[in-house]
């Protein structure tokens, strides 16, 4: 329940005119983390975070994307107080593609972040900031999309990627033949009937054989599903071989967690993601450590790479154990002889 002060600030801050109501089914999901100010600070810092949280609730259905609060590791945006600007975690989160918003409860002199809110801020200011953040996240996603090979297996995935990067008025495409799958531009979502959805998830529908063509007759009165769900299964089921450019001997690490909310991966893949979040692993190491088949590890890495969630690095390997040499006697003589002959210890 909003307290009286929050209600007053919220209701009296809408001075930018009415905001357009946007259908929930046509919006992307965005996650935002409101970092709790450090203990011992004045009450304004906590009140500022509470105000922003209340505004997020009030904005539901009005912003281009659907904003939900979450923990910082899953968030697209982290909000912090100006006094916490030296928090070491901020540099790590920014390096992993998260945007940061700085809230200050003092004067503007201490404001150093390019995304900022000065408390007490109006709802129109917070609304405009969320829309700018949404545009930056969409632009970053498009520019970070890896190149997809121009082969038959990956043609549908490449088409989805190009359609996701389109801006401007929404447009629709549909697969050229049954079962039909409708896709909305800009990553807004997609639609397919229940049997087709099940076939997509199970890999029973050969999406690589489908072709997207423009249409002016999108599905009517139906809720859209997240486009990331379609592109995930399209990439996962495209090929049992690694994408060209990926190597079976290179190490890979998770840069950001995928949105597993709509994908619902099996336990083995969640275990694989957790492993990749903490260390660099190659394909065979990932399959062994996550206890999943080798082809599942390959498909999982393909899907992560297409969604820009992987970074390549050398795998972390434990140093080889050296045999303990025998002490004295014949063992010592044999060891020296092997060293002399260049046979090692």
pLDDT, tens only, 32-55: 999 988 765 568 888 999 999 999
pLDDT, tens only, 224-264: 888 889 999 999 999 899 987 788 888 998 888 887 888 89
Contact of 298 with 241, CB cutoff 8 Å: yes
Question: Residue 232: which residues within 8 A CB-CB, separation 6 or more?
Answer: 258, 263, 303, 307
| Reported confidence tier of residue 111, pLDDT bands at 50, 70, 90 | low
Residue with tokens 């967690």: 257
DSSP secondary structure letters along 86-102: T-HHHHHHHHTT-EEEE
| Helical H segments across the chain, by residue range | 4-11, 43-58, 88-95, 123-144, 155-164, 194-202, 227-236, 260-263, 267-278, 283-290, 294-306, 329-340
Instruction: Report how far residue 146's alpha carbon sits from residue 305's, in angstroms, rounded to the nearest whole number.
Output: 7
Instruction: Report how far residue 297's alpha carbon sits from residue 302's, in angstroms, rounded to the nearest whole number.
Output: 9
Cα angle 267, 273, 274; round to 5: 90
pLDDT, tens only, 112-160: 567 889 898 999 999 999 999 988 887 766 545 555 555 667 888 888 8
Contact of 79 with 34, CB cutoff 8 Å: yes
pLDDT, tens only, 162-209: 888 777 778 889 998 889 999 988 888 899 999 999 999 988 988 887
Residue-range domains of the chain with CATH:
4-143 (3.40.50.9200), 152-236 (no CATH)
Instruction: Report how far residue 118's alpha carbon sits from residue 110's, in angstroms, rounded to the nearest whole number.
Output: 10
DSSP secondary structure letters along 180-247: P-EEEGGGTEEE--HHHHHHHHHT-S-GGG--EEEES---SS-PPBPHHHHHHHHHHTT-SSPPBTB-
Cα angle 182, 185, 189; round to 5: 55
Residue 33 burial (CB < 10 Å; 0-12/13-18/19+)? buried
Task: Take residue 87 and report the two structure tokens written for it.
Answer: 């928090």
pLDDT, tens only, 282-317: 999 999 999 999 999 999 999 998 888 888 765 444
Instruction: Report how far residue 319's alpha carbon sits from residue 322's, in angstroms, rounded to the nearest whole number.
Output: 9
Residue with tokens 């140093």: 319
Tell me what percent of the residues of the chain surpass a pLDDT of 90.
27
Contact of 233 with 73, CB cutoff 8 Å: no
Coil, helix or strand at residue 78: strand
């Amino acid at each position: 329940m909003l307290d009286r002060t929050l209600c007053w600030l919220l209701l009296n801050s809408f001075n930018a005119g009415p905001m357009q109501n946007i259908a929930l089914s046509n919006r992307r999901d965005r996650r935002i983390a409101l970092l709790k100010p450090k203990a011992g600070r004045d009450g304004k810092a906590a009140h500022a975070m509470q105000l922003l949280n209340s505004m997020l609730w009030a904005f539901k259905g009005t912003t281009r994307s659907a904003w939900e609060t979450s923990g910082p590791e899953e968030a697209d945006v982290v909000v912090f107080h100006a006094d916490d600007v030296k928090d070491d975690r901020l540099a790590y989160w920014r390096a992993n593609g998260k945007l940061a918003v700085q809230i200050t409860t003092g004067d503007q002199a201490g404001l150093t972040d390019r995304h900022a809110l000065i408390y007490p801020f109006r709802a129109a200011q917070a609304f405009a900031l969320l829309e700018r953040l949404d545009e930056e996240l969409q632009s970053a996603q498009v520019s970070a999309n890896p190149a997809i090979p121009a082969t038959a297996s990956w043609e549908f995935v490449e088409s989805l990627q190009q359609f996701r990067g389109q801006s401007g008025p929404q447009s629709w495409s549909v697969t050229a033949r049954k079962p039909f799958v409708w896709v909305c531009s800009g990553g807004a979502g997609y639609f397919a009937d229940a049997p087709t959805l099940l076939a997509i998830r199970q890999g029973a529908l050969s999406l690589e054989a489908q072709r997207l063509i423009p249409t002016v007759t999108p599905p009517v009165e139906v809720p859209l599903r997240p486009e990331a769900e379609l592109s995930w299964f399209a990439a996962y089921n495209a090929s049992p071989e690694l994408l060209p450019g990926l190597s079976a001997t290179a190490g890979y690490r998770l840069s950001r967690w995928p949105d597993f909310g709509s994908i619902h991966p099996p336990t083995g893949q969640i275990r694989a993601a957790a492993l990749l979040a903490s260390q660099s692993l190659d394909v065979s190491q990932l399959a062994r450590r996550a206890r999943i088949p080798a082809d599942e590890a390959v498909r999982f890495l393909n899907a992560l790479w297409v969604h820009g969630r992987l970074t390549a690095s050398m795998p972390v390997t434990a140093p080889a154990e050296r045999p303990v040499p025998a002490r004295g006697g014949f063992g010592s003589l044999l060891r020296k002889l092997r060293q002399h002959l260049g046979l090692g210890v």
